[in-house]
Amino acid sequence: MVGYTPSTGMIVQWKNCDTDEDCNGQRMLYSHSDDGRTWSSPPRILFPNMTTLGVPTTLEPGPPVYLNGRMYMAASPGFHNTTHDASAQGECVGMTGNVW
């Protein structure tokens, strides 16, 4: 997902995991750019791994949310489905993380 405001530049968020996009231990990372050419490095953690008590949880990036001149990046938690294609299933209540 990509977000942009003239005052903060571009924010890109993506899924990150050891084996593929959706696996136990997944987290969301982001990078920022003022000009679209030079990006913050290394990427920063937007949402950490949400797995608790052995329940494999994944995150689905959501579109940016713009409120009162501020940009928030959003994600929906889901459950890691290991029975067929290992994709995230059953998205739950959304959440947002304040970036700028």
Residues contacting 49, CB < 8 A, separation 6+: 25, 26, 27, 57
Q: At residue 89, does pLDDT exceed 70?
A: no
**pLDDT tens digits, one per residue of 17-52:** 877 777 777 888 999 999 989 999 999 999 888 877
Residue 36 CB-half CA count within 13 A: 5
57 or 6: which carries more pLDDT confidence? 6
Question: What pLDDT band is residue 80 in, cutting at 50, 70 and 90?
Answer: low
